[in-house]
């Protein structure tokens, strides 16, 4: 096998930089594994670690600071057979922290080589997430105020299955890299090195000091026993293959004559949890059974089971433009919060408008016809009031008739919900 | 026969699948979440991939990786997420990575109102990248457009190797409407162009007859380089100002010189009208109502609905406004696209109606603006 180093673009690191050694070693590891350039993608971060892809005749992807793992993830999912190697400095670890944690939790088969030289080399030796608090760096006194983190312990606690730290000067670095690349899952190799251009100008750090410091670090059992599990990509494809293919949305055919072939605007004003949006959908579906065009515009708060919920449904024989309703034909007033939210709508209503008022809801003064079906005495739960109000409408032959509604319910619901909604349909009285 | 009832977001997901999209990544955000929900149902069973990113930056980053891996990719978010996408939008522009980005706009600024609509990101989509190079932005009007414009967005992204935005709006995205997807006239699906065989592949080399580089995926049999840095044809960093100039000019003109081909629009021109109403997105629906009312009442106006917002279809706008003296621009913001209209029609009276309070602009408001200016 030939070297995968790019002869026309030799490394440009500072004399004495451990990145230079790591470049040669990475090539050695590829050679030992017998990999061809087409089988490898080197995804690089920003800074000096971001230069790595240019030194190799492999697929290359160089992007923004801290984001290398995001590209690597998309790429590996798209090309599962590719060996995806990420080079990232200690700067990238900090800015892309969320991506590092996610990669650990996910266990996609990527190899992250952390080129840890304890500072931002390229931009002037500022402090990073791994700079010792006692170091003299380009960020003045700021690093004295923060604690560096041990990426290996962070990664292990975040779920990384393979976590090792070693010196960039270690004799067995090719094997360390090879083992990390061969690991079937996410592997993180924290490679401690020397930045002669910045860090060691003001701080003493030698291969021997690195060796001694590494020896003092708490040991990490690797592969991390509690984090062993199936590789993400394979598991993803297994689970995905077991998902049921979704058919295109079911079609509804026009099958009934409507009560009247004219446009009708219905506003349902209720509360979250009253199935207002579902009722609106059923009304739309009922409209489709009679060949109407329809739109359903919804309004609700960010709260889930609290607050108002309003749906505006238009049924029209013609194409519908504006989807808002300013002159409703029917209002289903099912909660005070809903009505209060639209109180401006009531003043202009004339006596052709029908309002179905649920128990306990006060309607602002208006000329509309107000009916009060007594859902409480009929023992209908407030979560069913929206559907019950549609049933009342259908039984009064207003907007929709019962056959339209039944067909919509049969289209929308299955099994128990269908049975209970059809039961409600029989039960609800208009008085 | 028959129709189904879907919301704009669902229609987009179906449009994406029809386009051959096989990768989606997103981060939950109202009002875009139901695109993610639908893609999660649609893609995995057909061999596609749908991921939930740890944040928006990751979501679009995954898409860029997957797109370079050869998959057609889409992501969807709203204002706060588009803000976070910015660095990767710039990457996709400068490094020619096809990706479809849906912005389901909600009322801003900032976290704004999660479930209220707006068209407040129209200039942000254009200028929200470092370097300021052009982008394509399409604007759907209704659910059928959500389906069709998504297909067109993919075709443009693949053909021009660029990010394509779809500027949706909560009021289209989460509004249900009847649609017969089978009746939509689906354009031919465009795929990336591989280089001709027999020559060494140079990642950003441009064929003579085109301004768009050939595409090969990272991970295939031929080595491919991709970089976010300013690069030459070989995909390596360059500092050669002549080469940089050539690339920047090409990135610009590959879109601006072709906009005539994708100036999607609807026009309703009335001979006797001296006024043209110009709208896009959800507001175009109210504008269409006003057009019909004016026509029925014997005071016709013309109407231009733009579905391609960027690059500005300048020739189209000039042509359609040739015979009117006055253009009334209506949009759900405090005045964004109207700036472009003022710029390209300096000799006409330009009136503006905007609103940014979460409510739709109604036909009544538009009619009043037409009457009073």
Q: What is d(CA B49, CA A240) in angstroms, rounded to the nearest whole number?
A: 8
Which residue in chain A has the smallest CA separation from B30?
A302
CB-based contact, B80 to chain A, within 8 Å:
no
ipTM confidence score: 0.97
CB-based contact, A295 to chain B, within 8 Å:
yes
Helix H or strand E encompassing A61: strand A59-62
CATH of domain A264-427: 3.40.920.10
Nearest Cα neighbor of A87 from A33, A13, A158 is A13
Question: C-alpha angle with apex B166: B165 to B171, nearest 5 degrees?
Answer: 145
Name which of A102, A254, A321 is nearest B288 (Cβ-Cβ). Answer: A321
Cis amide bond preceding A79, omega within 30: no
- How does pLDDT run along chain B (373 residues), one tens digit per residue? 789 999 999 999 999 999 999 999 999 999 999 999 999 999 999 999 999 999 999 999 999 999 999 999 999 999 999 999 999 999 999 999 999 999 999 999 999 998 899 999 999 999 999 999 999 999 999 999 999 999 999 999 999 999 999 999 999 999 999 999 899 999 999 999 999 998 999 999 999 888 999 999 999 999 999 999 999 999 999 999 999 999 999 999 999 999 999 999 999 999 989 999 999 999 999 999 999 999 999 999 999 999 999 999 999 999 999 999 999 999 999 999 999 999 999 999 999 999 999 999 999 999 999 998 6
In tens, the pLDDT along A14-43 reads 999 999 999 999 999 999 999 999 999 999
The DSSP secondary structure of B82-118, one letter per residue, reads HHHHHHHHHHHHHTT--EEEEEEEEE-STT-EEEEE-
Alpha-carbon gap: A91 to the closest alpha carbon of chain B (Å): 17
CB contact under 8 A, B176 and A281: yes
Alpha-carbon gap: A414 to the closest alpha carbon of chain B (Å): 17
Q: What is the pLDDT of residue A357?
A: 96
Alpha-carbon gap: B340 to the closest alpha carbon of chain A (Å): 25
CB-based contact, A285 to chain B, within 8 Å:
yes
**B223 with B239, same domain?**
yes
In tens, the pLDDT along A131-185 reads 999 999 999 999 999 999 999 999 999 999 999 999 999 999 999 999 999 999 9
The domain boundary, picked from B262, B290, B320, lies at: B262
Domain of B197, in residue numbers: 1-262
Nearest Cα neighbor of A233 from A342, A128, A80, A364 is A80
**B59 with B201, same domain?**
yes
Count the Cβ atoms, other than its own, within 10 Å of residue A326. Answer: 14
pLDDT band at A302 (very low <50, low <70, confident <90, very high): confident
Nearest Cα neighbor of B278 from B295, B291, B293 is B291
Q: Which of A75, A308, A309, A344 to mutate to test the interface with B (most CBs of B within 10 A)?
A: A75
The DSSP secondary structure of B217-242, one letter per residue, reads -TTSSS--EEESS-B-TTSSB---HH
**B23 with B84, same domain?**
yes
Give Cβ neighbours of residue A73 (< 8 Å, ≥ 6 apart): A103, A106, A108, A110, B51, B58, B61, B62, B65
Which chain A residues are Cβ-neighbours of B364 within 8 angstroms? 326
Q: Are B313 and B265 in contact (CB under 8 A)?
A: yes
Alpha-carbon gap: B322 to the closest alpha carbon of chain A (Å): 26
The domain boundary, picked from B214, B246, B262, lies at: B262
Which residue do the tokens 């990786």 mark? B65
B85: tokens are: 């996408």
**B99 with B230, same domain?**
yes
CB contact under 8 A, B115 and A58: no
Q: What is d(CA A158, CA B108) in angstroms, rounded to the nearest whole number?
A: 35
Domain extents for chain A? 18-241, 264-427
Nearest Cα neighbor of B164 from B245, B239, B258 is B258
Q: Which CATH architecture has domain A18-241?
A: 3-Layer(aba) Sandwich (3.40)
Q: Is B211 buried (19+), middle (13-18) or exposed (0-12) by CB count in 10 A?
A: middle
Q: Are B39 and B16 in contact (CB under 8 A)?
A: yes
Is the pTM higher than 0.90? The answer reads yes
The domain boundary, picked from B262, B286, B313, lies at: B262
Which chain B residues are Cβ-neighbours of A95 within 8 angstroms? none
CB contact under 8 A, B360 and A323: yes
Which chain B residues are Cβ-neighbours of A297 within 8 angstroms? 171, 175
Which residue do the tokens 């590209």 mark? A71
| Number of helices (H), then strands (E), in chain A | 14, 12
According to DSSP, residue A8 is labeled T
**B98 with B78, same domain?**
yes
CB-based contact, B47 to chain A, within 8 Å:
yes
Which residue do the tokens 């005071």 mark? B299
Give the mean model confidence (pLDDT) for residues A417-422.
97
N- to C-terminal Cα separation, chain A: 88
Q: What is the pLDDT of residue A263?
A: 97
Which CATH number characterizes residue B47's domain? 3.40.50.970
pLDDT band at A431 (very low <50, low <70, confident <90, very high): confident
Which CATH number characterizes residue B350's domain? 3.40.50.920
Q: What is the pLDDT of residue B208?
A: 84
Q: What is the pLDDT of residue A300?
A: 86
Q: What is the tally of structural domains in chain B? A: 2
Give the mean model confidence (pLDDT) for residues A380-389.
96
């Amino acid at each position: 096998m030939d070297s995968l180093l790019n002869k026309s673009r030799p490394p440009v690191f500072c004399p004495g930089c451990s990145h230079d050694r790591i470049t040669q070693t990475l090539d050695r590891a590829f050679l030992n594994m017998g990999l061809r350039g087409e089988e490898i993608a080197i995804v690089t971060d920003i800074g000096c670690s971001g230069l790595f892809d240019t030194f190799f005749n492999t697929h290359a992807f160089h992007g923004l600071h801290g984001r290398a793992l995001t590209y690597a993830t998309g790429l590996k999912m798209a090309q599962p057979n590719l060996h995806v190697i990420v080079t990232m400095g200690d700067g990238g670890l900090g800015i892309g922290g969320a991506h590092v944690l996610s990669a650990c939790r996910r266990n996609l088969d990527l190899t992250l080589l952390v080129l840890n030289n304890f500072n931002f080399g390229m931009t002037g030796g500022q402090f990073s997430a791994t700079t010792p608090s006692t170091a003299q760096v380009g960020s003045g006194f700021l690093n004295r105020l923060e604690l560096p983190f041990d990426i290996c312990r962070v990664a292990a606690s975040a779920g990384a299955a393979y976590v090792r730290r070693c010196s960039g000067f270690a004799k067995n670095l090719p094997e360390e890299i090879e083992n990390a690349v061969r690991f079937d899952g996410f592997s993180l190799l924290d490679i401690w090195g020397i930045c002669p251009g910045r860090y060691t100008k003001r701080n003493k750090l030698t291969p021997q000091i690195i060796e001694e410091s590494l020896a003092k670090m708490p040991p990490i059992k690797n592969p991390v026993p509690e984090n062993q599990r199936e590789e993400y990509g394979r598991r993803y494809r297994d689970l995905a293959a077991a998902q049921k293919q979704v058919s295109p949305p079911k079609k509804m055919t026009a099958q009934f004559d409507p009560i009247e072939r004219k446009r009708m605007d219905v506003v349902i004003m209720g509360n979250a949890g009253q199935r207002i949006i579902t009722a609106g959908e059923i009304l739309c579906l009922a409209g489709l059974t009679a060949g109407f065009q329809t739109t359903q515009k919804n309004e609700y708060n960010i709260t889930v089971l609290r607050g108002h919920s309003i749906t505006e449904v238009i049924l029209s024989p013609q194409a519908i433009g504006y989807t808002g309703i300013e002159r409703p034909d029917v209002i289903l007033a099912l909660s005070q919060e809903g009505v209060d939210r639209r109180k401006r709508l009531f003043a202009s209503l004339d006596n052709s408008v029908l309002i179905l008022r649920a128990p306990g809801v006060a309607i602002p003064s208006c000329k509309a016809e107000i009916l009060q079906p007594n859902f409480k005495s009929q023992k209908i739960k407030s979560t069913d009031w929206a559907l019950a109000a549609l049933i009342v409408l259908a039984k009064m032959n207003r907007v929709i008739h019962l056959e339209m509604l039944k067909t919509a319910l049969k289209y929308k619901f299955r099994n128990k919900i269908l049975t209970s909604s059809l039961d409600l349909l029989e039960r609800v009285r208009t008085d | 026969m028959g129709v189904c009832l879907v919301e704009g977001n669902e229609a987009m997901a179906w449009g994406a699948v029809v386009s051959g999209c096989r990768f989606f990544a997103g981060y939950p955000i109202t009002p875009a979440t139901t695109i993610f929900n639908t893609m999660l149902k649609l893609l995995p069973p057909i061999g596609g991939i749908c991921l939930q990113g740890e944040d928006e930056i990751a979501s679009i980053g995954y898409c860029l990786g997957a797109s370079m891996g050869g998959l057609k990719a889409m992501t969807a978010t709203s204002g706060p997420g588009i803000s976070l996408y910015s660095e990767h939008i710039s990457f996709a522009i400068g490094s020619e990575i096809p990706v479809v980005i849906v912005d389901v706009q909600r009322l801003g600024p900032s976290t704004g109102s999660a479930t209220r609509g707006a068209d407040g990101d129209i200039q942000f989509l254009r200028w929200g990248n470092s370097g300021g190079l052009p982008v394509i932005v399409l604007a759907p009007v209704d659910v059928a457009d959500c389906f069709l414009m998504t297909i067109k967005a993919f075709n443009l992204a693949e053909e021009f190797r660029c990010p394509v935005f779809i500027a949706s709006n909560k009021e289209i995205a989460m509004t249900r409407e009847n649609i017969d997807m089978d009746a939509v006239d689906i354009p031919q699906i465009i795929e990336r162009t591989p280089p001709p065989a027999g020559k060494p592949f140079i990642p950003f080399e441009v064929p003579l007859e085109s301004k768009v580089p050939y595409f090969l995926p990272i991970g295939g049999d031929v080595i491919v380089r991709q970089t976010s840095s300013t690069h030459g044809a070989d995909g390596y960093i360059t500092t050669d100002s002549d080469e940089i100039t050539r690339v920047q000019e090409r990135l610009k003109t590959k879109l601006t010189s072709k906009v005539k081909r994708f100036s999607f629009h609807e026009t309703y021109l009335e001979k006797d009208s001296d006024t043209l109403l110009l709208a896009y997105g959800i507001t175009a629906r109210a504008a269409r109502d006003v057009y019909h009312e004016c026509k029925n009442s014997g005071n016709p106006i013309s109407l231009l609905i733009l579905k391609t917002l960027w690059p500005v279809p300048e020739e189209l706008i000039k042509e359609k406004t040739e015979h009117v003296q006055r253009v009334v621009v209506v949009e759900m913001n405090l005045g964004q696209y109207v700036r472009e209209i003022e710029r390209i029609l300096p000799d006409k009276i330009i009136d503006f109606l905007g609103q940014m309070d979460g409510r739709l602009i109604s036909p009544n408001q538009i009619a009043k603006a037409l009457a009073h200016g």
